[in-house]
């Protein structure tokens, strides 16, 4: 079946959104299409229908296709645990931890998983739209490459090269990348897409003509900069947003190993919420609700919180009546201790928690990966809100202690999380808990948002609207006849 790969001149050139746009454009025409990303490095991930784990951006592309995410769509996922090491996930399951040099040597074996997943998808769908990672011109990573041209050569598929004109130097990016490819790689590069253009296209056309003449390859089109576009990102935490008078103020620390920060996208969109991400050495503003996010390395990020002065800020926040919520790793931090006797997240050891909930977490082998649904308990949802919720669990820890007698939610008959007796502190293992408007409204009401305030955005509907915006740009701005020929449609 036809496969087309989208590669970028740089990280964040817009590969994810271009792939999502192409997938949505094809799916709207009834084409059986699936996304594919051979290798991804990201701390934002999603639980798949087959109980695996893939990058969150690939799950967004699956949504664009009208599909449930599957582990074959992202066969190699690297989740950084340090500056030089990562957890390696193959076809949705944890394979182990490796440092950078060990993984570089292992890539030839990982390629077998990549090709097996690609073949499995090719048997189920008519078209595969694949996404590269970083840049194909990273010379130091060319040996045993599985993320970019290494895959394209193995799958014998054409490549479209995406450049981000908003950053400047797009012609140098495109021509320079092409020059650094091998002869066979240049031959399979079918052309270019220029992304995030602002202004009058007439001013760009002389450059496009030069590019086509210089390289003998066509420009498939120029995509505009889409203001207000909010789609799932891989790792970058967006801090854009305007403060609103009278809104609920929510503060989230940007942990060094923050995971699944997409949990907060519905809050970024909420008309009654001011969301602030606080990075290292930044002042921590007063707020109504402080949320400790997920973490890929709970003990490491817990130490960082202490070094940044968060424990004192949290205690003062609670004295003045504020609310605190912990999600997954952030929930674990709220307890008295976090134990990692086998070094699953780093060094073997035990770290004292924030001591806000009477419980202890022990890291155990065998990651919990599942999609969940249920309702918030009466402690979190009053009679005016239904409290219906859904999301996914993704963690190693097992948490025990008296704090759990007041759970945060009931998930398919099982208790989850904890709520303090004074109702000021809560925690849960569920990611994506703000995606459902009913749960989002209930949690924000618990945190102090008045009932007459604007209600939560239906995040799933919003994501689909954003994907349709992207597909509309494909139809308007790209050479769709040329795309169809490339895809053998």
Enzyme catalytic residues? 328, 431
Report the C-alpha gap between 484 and 463 in whole angstroms.
Answer: 26
Closest CA to 409 of 384, 367, 450, 438: 438
Report the C-alpha gap between 283 and 431 in whole angstroms.
Answer: 27
DSSP one-letter code for 203: G
Contact present, 292 and 318 (Cβ < 8 Å): no
Contact present, 277 and 243 (Cβ < 8 Å): no
DSSP one-letter code for 399: E
Contact present, 412 and 430 (Cβ < 8 Å): no
The burial class, CB within 10 Å (0-12 / 13-18 / 19+), for 186 is middle
Q: Residues 6 or more apart from 371 whose CB is under 8 A from it? A: 47, 49, 390, 391, 392
The Cβ-side half-sphere exposure at 33, using a 13 Å CA radius, reads 27
- Residue-wise burial string across 209-240, b where 16 or more C-beta atoms lie within 10 A, e elsewhere: eebeeebebebbbbbeebeeebbbbbbebeee
For residue 81, count other CB atoms closer than 10 A to its CB: 20
The token pair at 81 is 């645990």
Report the C-alpha gap between 276 and 336 in whole angstroms.
Answer: 27
The token pair at 131 is 């996404």
DSSP one-letter code for 225: P
CA 358 to chain centre: 31
Closest CA to 66 of 97, 25, 99: 25
The Cβ-side half-sphere exposure at 341, using a 13 Å CA radius, reads 5
């Amino acid at each position: 079946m036809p496969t087309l790969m989208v590669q970028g001149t740089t990280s964040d050139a817009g590969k994810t959104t271009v792939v999502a746009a192409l997938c949505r454009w094809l799916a709207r025409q009834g084409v059986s299409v699936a996304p594919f990303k051979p290798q991804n490095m990201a701390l934002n991930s999603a639980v798949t229908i087959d109980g695996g784990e893939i990058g969150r951006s690939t799950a967004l592309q699956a949504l664009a296709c009208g599909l449930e995410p599957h582990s074959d769509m992202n066969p190699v996922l690297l989740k950084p645990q340090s500056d030089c090491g990562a957890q390696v996930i193959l076809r949705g399951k944890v394979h182990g931890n490796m440092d950078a040099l060990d993984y570089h040597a292992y890539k030839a074996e990982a390629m077998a998983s990549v090709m097996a997943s690609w073949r499995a998808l090719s048997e189920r769908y008519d078209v595969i739209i694949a996404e590269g990672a970083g840049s194909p011109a990273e010379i130091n990573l060319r040996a045993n490459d599985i993320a970019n041209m290494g895959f394209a050569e193995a799958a014998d598929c054409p490549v479209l090269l995406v450049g981000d004109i908003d950053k400047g130097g797009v012609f140098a990016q495109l021509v320079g990348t092409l020059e650094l490819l091998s002869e066979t790689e240049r031959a399979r590069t079918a052309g270019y897409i220029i992304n995030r253009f602002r202004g009058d296209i007439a001013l760009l056309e002389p450059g496009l003509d030069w590019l086509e003449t210089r390289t003998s390859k066509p420009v498939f089109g120029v995509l505009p900069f889409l203001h207000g576009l909010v789609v799932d990102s891989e790792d970058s935490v967006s801090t854009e947003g305007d403060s609103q008078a009278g809104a609920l103020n929510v503060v989230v620390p940007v942990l060094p190993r923050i995971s699944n920060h997409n949990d907060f996208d519905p809050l970024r969109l909420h008309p009654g919420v001011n969301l602030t991400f606080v990075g290292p050495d930044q002042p921590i503003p007063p707020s109504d609700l402080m949320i400790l996010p997920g973490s890929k390395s709970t003990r490491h990020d817990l130490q960082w919180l202490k070094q940044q002065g968060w424990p004192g800020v949290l205690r003062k926040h609670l004295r003045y009546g504020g609310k605190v919520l912990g999600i997954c790793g952030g929930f674990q931090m709220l307890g008295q201790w976090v134990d990692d006797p086998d070094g699953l997240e780093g060094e073997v050891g035990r770290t004292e928690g924030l001591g806000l909930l009477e419980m202890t977490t022990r890291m155990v082998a065998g990651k919990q990966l599942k999609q969940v649904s249920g309702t918030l308990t009466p402690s979190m949802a009053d009679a005016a809100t239904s409290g219906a919720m859904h999301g996914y669990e993704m963690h190693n820890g097992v948490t025990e202690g008296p704090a759990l007698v007041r759970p945060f939610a009931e998930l398919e008959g099982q208790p989850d999380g904890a709520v303090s007796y004074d109702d000021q502190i809560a925690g849960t293992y569920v990611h994506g808990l703000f995606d459902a408007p009913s749960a989002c409204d209930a949690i924000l009401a618990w945190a102090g948002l008045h009932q007459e305030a604007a209600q939560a955005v239906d995040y799933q509907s919003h994501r689909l609207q954003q994907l349709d915006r992207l597909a509309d740009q494909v139809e308007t701005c790209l050479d769709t006849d040329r795309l169809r020929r490339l895809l053998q449609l």
